[in-house]
A and B are shown apart, each in its own frame.
Chain A
């Protein structure tokens, strides 16, 4: 199964910190489901030259000590990741990866404890708010997808000014919704400001999201909607002339 391999293949790196526990799931989906060349990118590594995109996976990097992502942010790989982002390459942070990207200042806001003070592990409907990004172009606007969430600190916080800026630049990519597409307090699992489940930076080459698209990427598992996140990334890579 090497259908995509060849001149158009997009090389993915899966950033692996001590305590990352979704790295293998991401690796599997990239390697075996969307058939792209994939390698782990170790937290001590700094050479990204062979990579076209980096996934910052979920887990509990450095035991979530102090705050989720607080220690990971100082790993040597993070300086390399910042340069990678400055070059316009694609980076997606999932769950703990999202927390790390906010701690590193690559995405605005912060993720604090769920309003319920409970670890949430459930299927969650999210709504695509912006389908014109490199991560969502295979979706249509307001498409609904059922994507698992599994987090203790997924309560996205940003101040009013920051929220207005996110909205003005269409940086809100996913919102928590009900199965019929309603977005309000009753469909907000964790207390996130404005039901935010995922955001992009202003250049739209960095996405952070709390739900796990790598966990619903195969029909064998009952739901393959999440695969479109990775397929969108590959499409944007091939469309950019690679």
Chain B
């Protein structure tokens, strides 16, 4: 079994209103040194396979087709073998 962790974020060029709201929240509880906050989404997928090459291809397809919207989002991922 392979565990894929996919992180989806708004593209850097796009203003992230959620990140800004969290930054203001952090500021209001005393964290005054925050330069920037961006909020994304993490998706954990368990793939019933031990073939990393295949899992890599599948995750890419999942992200392109559904998990991220390429117009406004970018994504990254890690794969690890589950014991």
Q: Which residues of A contact B (CB under 8 A)?
A: 66-67, 70-71, 74, 102-103, 108-110, 112-117, 155, 157-159, 191
Contacts and interface: CB of A to CB of B under 8 A. Distances in A.
A113 B18 contact: yes
Contacts of A158: 71
Nearest to B39: A113
Interface stretch (B9-17, B30-38, B48-56): B9-17
B71 A66 contact: no
11 contacts: A66-B66, A66-B67, A102-B71, A103-B69, A108-B71, A110-B72, A112-B14, A112-B72, A117-B18, A155-B17, A191-B15
Contacts of A71: 66
Given A117-B18, A155-B17, A157-B72, A112 B10 contact: yes
Tell me what chain B mostly uses at the interface: helix, strand, loop, or mixed: mixed
Given A67-B69, A115-B17, A155-B17, 7 more contacts: A71-B66, A102-B71, A110-B71, A115-B15, A117-B20, A117-B21, A191-B17
Contacts of A159: 13
A157 B71 contact: yes
A117 B14 CA distance: 14
Contacts, number: 37
Interface of B: 10, 13-15, 17-18, 20-21, 41, 66-67, 69, 71-72
Contacts of A74: 66
A194 to B, nearest CB: 14
**Residue of B18, B21, B66, B69 with most chain A CB atoms under a 10 A cut-off:** B69
A109 B70 CA distance: 10
Contacts of B41: 66
B69 A70 contact: yes
Contacts of A70: 66, 69
Nearest to A190: B17
B17 A116 contact: yes
Minimum-distance CB pairs A-B, first 6: A110-B71, A110-B72, A117-B21, A117-B17, A113-B17, A115-B17
A118 to B, nearest CB: 9
A114 B17 contact: yes
A71 to B, nearest CB: 8
Contacts of B17: 112-117, 155, 191
